[in-house]
Amino acid sequence: MAARVSKSLSSAKERTKLYSTIKIRLYPTTEQAELFEKTFGCCRYIWNRMLADQQRFYLETDKHFIPTPAKYKKEAPFLREVDSQALIQEHNKLSQAFRAFFKNPEAFGQPRFKRKKDDRDSFTACNHAFESGPTIYTTRDGIRMTKTGIVRAKFPRRPQAWWKLKRVTVEKTKAGKYYAYLLYEHDENTPEPVAPTAENTLGLKYSMAHFYVADNGETADPPHWLKQSQEKLARIQKQLSRMQPGSRNYEEAVQKYRLMHEHIANQRRDFIHKQSSRIANGWDAVCVRGDSMRDVSRKKAIPGNALEAGFGMFREMLRYKLARQGKTLIVVERATLTTRTCSACGFVRTGRPHRKEAWVCPKCGKVQNREINAAKNIKAQGLAQYFRMQEREIA
């Protein structure tokens, strides 16, 4: 579940507007699946046509202009067979991509053409309420969408009665499964801000071996079933390397490979959700270092793949789950020396960093566990950073 927080001043009592997403599994019929495939292709087609016309218009007039999807329906009548809201959303996405590019060209590249083999199969449709009823709504065992009708679905949870359905995004995975992401808007009471204290604040250090290590010595070792799935994936990869590409056995093995990848992603996401919920419910504040997982994965001294650990996703889940309770995620500058600094006396070691599990401080003589010591320093730096910001706001 993802959430974004914004202020709502519609009532005398301060309220918070939340956006929550519920992911559901879809079981379309053959006709509905064909319509989904047509919609995926039409969205890709309309994106490429609008982008091509924008580039040509810019070269001829030196001005930015994106045509609307309605312009192409006469020359491409197959666009009328799919939901027009899906095509409108492609226009909105392309406009947003250009706005982001014009605002910060260094961070956001120019929009590119979409290719079927590289692009994710998905489309988005907004919900509109008319006198006859909304265009998109859920039923007991499905969801009703324009053109498609009622698609059978499985709900992991149900929204509250006052939640408003804003839009739905339909996605097809590489394994051939269909999912829908339902975005809901709802107002809730603004939580009272919780001031962090040293006793109720947790410091976390990313660990390749334990996922994270806390300042109190707690670790979160990934469950054994995740390791078993990864070992099974490695065996499937070995089998694939010995098969003839294009053969029936090869295609069956590729499907098993895709299903196992999806299974591992779900297992990892489940593990991260449970860990982040437990920490957000048990602590008033959490301090982490703003490490770039991409930079960490490039370090040759660190074994494994840091990008596959999901620690960046874990930080984002912690952020919004803490914010819903009025709590704070404090991100410490990633250049902070946490591993080399003694948490007891503040002595900073020089020279090349040691990779040993424990080291002795040459100043105070305290034996420090490398990762626990770093987590303690992250907590201390985070609290100091938070109180400095509070003093500036008061001043």
pLDDT tens across 205-236, in order?
A: 988 888 899 999 899 887 777 778 888 888 99
Residue 365 phi/psi, 5° resolution?
A: 80, 10
H or E segment and range at residue 136: none
Q: Which of 160, 189, 218 is the last residue of a domain?
A: 189
Q: Per-residue pLDDT for 144 more than 90?
A: yes
Residue 2 has pLDDT above 60, yes or no: no
Three-state SS at 294: helix
Q: Are 143 and 153 in contact (CB under 8 A)?
A: yes
Helix (H, G, I), strand (E, B) or coil at 91: helix
Distance CA 280, CA 201 (A): 11
196 belongs to a structural domain: no
pLDDT score recorded for residue 181: 97
Report the pLDDT value the prediction gives residue 231, as an integer from 0 to 100.
86
**According to the per-residue pLDDT averaged within each range, which of 1-5, 65-69, 348-352 is highest?**
65-69
At residue 202, the pLDDT reads: 95
Shared domain for 96 and 10, answered yes or no, is yes
Question: Which of 154, 189, 224 is the last residue in one of the domains?
Answer: 189
Mean pLDDT of 339-359: 77
Q: Residue 7's pLDDT is what?
A: 46
Examine the domain organization and report whether 179 and 217 are in the same domain: no
pLDDT: is 150 or 10 the higher one?
A: 150
Cβ atoms within 10 A of the Cβ of 65, count? 9
Model-level pTM? Answer: 0.82
Rounded to the nearest 5 degrees, what angle is found at the Cα of 158, between the Cα atoms of 267 and 181?
60
DSSP assigned state of 333: P
Any idea what DSSP says for residue 71? G
> Binning pLDDT at 50, 70 and 90, where does residue 300 land?
very low
pLDDT at 19: 92
Helix H or strand E segment including 379 = helix 370-394
User: Which structural domain, as residue segments, surrounds residue 316?
Assistant: 201-394
- What's the pLDDT tens digit per position in 157-192? 999 999 999 999 999 999 999 999 999 999 988 888
Say if residue 291 is in the same domain as residue 159. no
Give yes or no: residues 124 and 175 share one domain: yes
Please report, for the domain that includes residue 245, its CATH number.
3.30.420
Residue 65 confidence (pLDDT) above 70: yes
Based on the domain organization, do 139 and 160 belong to the same domain?
A: yes
What's the whole-number average pLDDT of the chain? 88
Average pLDDT (51-60) is: 95
Give the CA radius of gyration of the chain: 25
Cα-flanking dihedrals φ and ψ of residue 271, to 5°? Answer: -60, -45
Based on the structure, what is the number of domains in the chain? Answer: 2
Find where tokens 């009622």 sit.
150
Quick one: 217 and 178 in the same domain? Answer: no
Question: In this structure, are 138 and 207 located in the same domain?
Answer: no
128, 160, 189 - which closes a domain: 189
The answer, yes or no, to whether residue 306 has pLDDT greater than 70, is no
How far from 160 is each of 38, 188, 243, CA to CA, in Å?
A: 33, 12, 50
